[in-house]
Amino acid sequence: MAYCLTCNNSQIRRLQHDQVYLGYSPPFGTMRGVHGTGYGVPAMDTRQHACIIRYITLSGYCDQTTSKHPVMRSILVLTSTYPRWQGDTNPAFVDDLCRQLAGSYRVIVLAPHYPGAQRREVIDDVDIRRFRYCLPFAEKLAYDGGVIENLKRNPLKWLLVPFFLLSQGFNMVLLARRHKVSLIHAHWIIPQALLAVLGRQLRLIPGHIRILCTSHGGDLFSLQGGLLQALKGYTLRHCDHTTVVSKAMRDHLVSTGCQTRTVSVQSMGVDLISRFVPAPERPVQYDIVYVGRLVEKKGVSTLLDAIKLLREPHPGLTATLVGDGPERQALEQQAQTLGISQQVSFAGAIPNERVPSIYQSARIAVVPSIVAASGDQEGLGLVAVEALGCGCATVVSDLPALADVVTHGENGLVFKAGDAAQLADCMAMLLDDPCLYRLLVQNARASVIDKFDWQVVGTRYLDIIGQCIDSPA
């Protein structure tokens, strides 16, 4: 039922989930909508209110310019990785953040398409658009290890890069204009933030749109060379705000001389309330676990060398490697050469939903990350946060990014990156010293919940986005 735009309210009710105000007066409420229409519903039926507001908001039929009550602003999220379907094994941190923001903003995600994935879908109020950039069977530049790793494995995929950039850029402009976007949140400096900056500089998107760039590590550490460094510097100078996921990344930015308008350290988060929690009882099914991609910078080769060193003092020790990647075949060959094939199990990639159960039933979790030959390294070891959240004894390398998560002897143990002997010593200490083991397990969860839980991280990002949108041009 359509009503006039006039809203003579006797009462204002705020629907927190959608951040929309509904004014109503008996016997029907009226809400201002586009094209001179409103929607009437019974005054006291709040469930109907919510349904109508949600439909209007998500469908784009309500707009701040036509209402005297605030409505949801739109955010366009640019990314090169996003869960392709339910049970996907690719990292879900961008999706997790979008879900946190969706209660306060209309969130539109622009991610690459992949064979078998839906072109468009709405999940938990997040509007997901997947752009096409080639024939369906060939759209495999992203995912399965990431763009950089895929280019290393198959140089022919460089042929896809121009089409990838043009398609994401074109769709970015289209969505930004069509949905009156207030902010573009670009995950990774190159190419997503670069595309957003170029779009605004060339006036392809309105100049009032703010740009927030989040760097996750690989784009900052691995993209070296004069031209790439210049492009990163240009991009960061023209972003309205930049977030990095660890103090180590901020220090790296400073050391390379990259100038930014504003930079802050803000980690990604982990669901430490309902997912990554200790098991009521802790039956041990795995001695040593590793969870992550099988790529050079993860340092899994060091872990295999350490398992070899522990074979004599702990002959029954086993290690389970959860994940997949381009290094898997080489690592399987290494295990065979070391004579530990019977002790090491390559479990492959598993759905993200199953990861907590791995940590909950593990004696020790290991994060053996190193600096790769290309310079690539961890931005932030979220896997360590996940393990600690589950109350798992955790051993990590001494990379600067991991220092934000683990303090040696307090909530975990730290060894020198790439040093298999030190890693073996750390694992032996946990296996042989029950008092130390209990201390670290007791401290594990408390050390991360106030800093890395998504409710905390989401609130901080809401503050950053709000300040960014409201900042002067």
Indicate if the pLDDT at residue 24 is higher than 70. Answer: no
244 sits in which H/E element? strand 241-244
Q: What is the pLDDT of residues 338-368, one digit of tens each?
A: 999 999 999 999 998 999 999 999 999 999 9
Q: Answer whether residue 407 shows pLDDT above 70.
A: yes
Distance, CA of 149 to CA of 222 (rounded, Å): 11
For residue 72, what is the DSSP state?
P
Amino acid 29: pLDDT: 33
The residue-averaged pLDDT of 100-126 equals 95
Decide: 274 and 429 in contact? Cβ < 8 Å.
Answer: no
Residues 327-330: contacts with CB under 8 Å, at least 24 apart? 327/294, 327/295, 327/296, 327/298, 327/300, 327/301, 328/294
- pLDDT for res 218: 76
Whether the CB-CB separation of 221 and 195 falls below 8 Å is answered with no
> Residue 367 contacts by C-beta under 8 Å, 6 or more apart in sequence?
290, 292, 381, 383, 384, 387, 394, 395, 396, 397, 402
Among all chains, which residue has been given the structure tokens 């683990």? 406
How many CA atoms does the CB half-sphere of 167 hold within 13 Å? Answer: 19
Start-end of H helices in 90-137: 93-101
Domains of the chain listed by start with CATH number: 11-66 (no CATH), 74-269+453-470 (3.40.50.2000), 286-452 (3.40.50.2000)
Confidence class for position 219, pLDDT limits 50, 70, 90: confident
Per-residue confidence (pLDDT) for residue 262, from 0 to 100: 84
Q: Rounded mean pLDDT of 381-393?
A: 94
Beta bridge partners of 35: none
* Length of the chain (residues): 473
Check whether 34 has a pLDDT greater than 90.
Answer: no
Residue range 413-459, pLDDT digits in tens: 999 999 999 999 999 999 999 999 999 999 999 999 999 999 999 99
Q: Give me the mean pLDDT over the 25-43 stretch.
A: 33
Residue 63 pLDDT more than 60?
no
Average pLDDT, the chain: 83
Question: What is the reported pLDDT for 106?
Answer: 96
State the pLDDT at residue 223. 65
Residues above pLDDT 70, as percent of the chain: 83
Distance CA 173, CA 175 (A): 6
Among 42-46, 269-273, 362-366, 469-473, the minimum mean pLDDT is found in 42-46
Q: Please, what is the angle between helix 434-444 and helix 420-432, to 10°?
A: 100
Residues 303-326 have pLDDT tens digits of 999 999 999 999 989 999 999 988
According to the model, what pLDDT value does residue 111 have? 97
pTM of the model: 0.80
Confidence at residue 273, expressed as pLDDT on a 0 to 100 scale: 93
User: Does position 2 have pLDDT exceeding 50, yes or no?
Assistant: no
Q: Which residue in this structure is represented by tokens 């029950």?
A: 434
